[in-house]
């Protein structure tokens, strides 16, 4: 770093330079490149043989039209919405329940149970799916011959892996928020005759609403992009297609069938959906955290 860098005006930009360079190289350029690819396509002339027979040309919104008209992609969206709704409801429900239970008086084994329930956070999604995947196999399952990986059950079995992996982190976020509430509020409520259940319902849960929204939006973004779990489970069952989730279809388009352009268009659609969902959350949370410096 040069000697006379301590001119206050330039300093913040110098300090931010590494982050800005990384942002441009690994976010802005790839996003721009995806947007570019999404409006291109290959034009094949003649038999498509030899140099110059395949040209990349401007395609307008054709790839988007194809993505929106693609029945398999819609089916993927429907599967992921069903899966995501299930994961979100169960995972956040359990996370809230556990956080409230941890925050009650006279709870035993609080430390042990808190650490245990948070533990799956440290387990890679691939490892979690492998463990549950083997537990689902009739030849190994302690639950007998139940068809966990049949067409009807596989969504629930996959949701179980996500709930198992995600509940602890969300529980800890909610619990940390609860710990920051001054205890006086509860004392005041007790003096007014409120029971623990009323305190939970009328003070704690309203206090947790912003944190629940925050964890909810992060979970929605994660479930829209589900890829690791179905991909890892696929070798163990034939009920998960290579296009089970939209992300898996993008991967297949890009790397198996080699249609980068439609993969790019589908990527942009997923990005747009994530952004729309996230903006609501930013509006709710942003000013709360950074209202002042």
Does the CA dihedral 272-29-37-259 come out positive or negative?
Answer: negative
DSSP sequence for 114-177:
HHHHHGGGGS-HHHHHHHHHHHHSTTT-TTTT--TTSTTTHHHHHHHHHHHHHHHHHHHHHHHH
50 versus 139: smaller Cβ distance to other proteins: 139
Each residue 88-127 as x (binds other proteins by CB under 8 A) or -, in order, gives ------x--xx--xx-xxxxxxx-xxxxxxxxxxxxxxxx
145 is written with which tokens?
A: 């011959």
45 versus 201: smaller Cβ distance to other proteins: 201
Enumerate residues 71-90 that contact other proteins by CB under 8 A: none
Enumerate residues 209-238 that contact other proteins by CB under 8 A: 210-211, 214, 221, 224-225, 227-228, 231-232, 235-236
State the nearest-atom distance from the C-beta of 116 to other proteins, in Å: 4
State the nearest-atom distance from the C-beta of 46 to other proteins, in Å: 26
Does the CA dihedral 100-104-108-111 come out positive or negative?
Answer: positive
Contacts of 251 (CB under 8 A, 6+ apart): 227, 231, 263
Tell me if 287 contacts other proteins by CB under 8 A.
Answer: no
State the nearest-atom distance from the C-beta of 20 to other proteins, in Å: 7
73 versus 260: smaller Cβ distance to other proteins: 260
Enumerate residues 147-206 that contact other proteins by CB under 8 A: 164, 167-169, 172-173, 176-177, 180, 185, 188-190, 192-198, 202-203, 206
The residues facing 58 across adjacent strands are 40
Tell me if 62 contacts other proteins by CB under 8 A.
Answer: no
- Give percent helix, percent strand, percent coil of the chain, each to the nearest 5: 70, 5, 25
Q: Return d(Cα 6, Cα 230) in angstroms, integer.
A: 52
Give me the phi and psi of 55, to 5 degrees please. Answer: -125, 145
48 versus 235: smaller Cβ distance to other proteins: 235
Each residue 17-36 as x (binds other proteins by CB under 8 A) or -, in order, gives -xxx-xx-xxx-xxx-xx--
Tell me if 54 contacts other proteins by CB under 8 A.
Answer: no
């Amino acid at each position: 770093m040069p000697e006379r860098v301590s001119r206050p005006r330039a300093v913040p930009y110098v300090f931010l330079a590494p982050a800005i360079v990384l942002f441009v190289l690994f976010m802005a350029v790839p996003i721009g490149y995806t947007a570019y690819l999404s409006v291109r396509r290959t034009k094949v002339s003649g038999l498509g043989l030899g140099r110059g027979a395949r040209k990349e040309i401007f395609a307008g919104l054709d790839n988007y039209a194809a993505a929106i008209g693609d029945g398999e992609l819609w089916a993927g969206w429907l599967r992921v919405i069903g899966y995501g709704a299930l994961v979100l409801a169960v995972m956040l429900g359990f996370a809230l329940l556990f956080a409230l239970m941890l925050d009650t008086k006279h709870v035993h084994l609080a430390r042990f149970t808190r650490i245990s329930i948070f533990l799956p956070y440290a387990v890679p999604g691939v490892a979690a799916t492998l463990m549950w995947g083997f537990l689902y196999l009739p030849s190994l399952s302690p639950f007998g011959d139940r068809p966990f990986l049949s067409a009807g059950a596989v969504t629930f079995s996959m949701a179980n892996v996500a709930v198992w992996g995600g509940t602890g982190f969300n529980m800890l976020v909610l619990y940390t928020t609860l710990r920051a509430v001054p205890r006086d509020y509860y004392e005041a409520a007790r003096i007014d005759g409120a029971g623990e259940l009323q305190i939970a319902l009328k003070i704690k849960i309203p206090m947790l609403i912003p944190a629940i929204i925050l964890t909810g939006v992060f979970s929605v973004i994660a479930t829209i992009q589900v890829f690791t779990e179905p991909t890892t489970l696929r070798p163990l069952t034939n009920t998960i297609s290579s296009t089970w989730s939209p992300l898996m279809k993008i991967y297949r388009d890009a790397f198996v069938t080699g249609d980068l352009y439609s993969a790019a268009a589908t990527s942009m659609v997923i990005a747009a959906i994530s952004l729309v969902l996230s903006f609501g959350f930013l509006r709710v949370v942003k000013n709360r955290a950074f209202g002042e410096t």
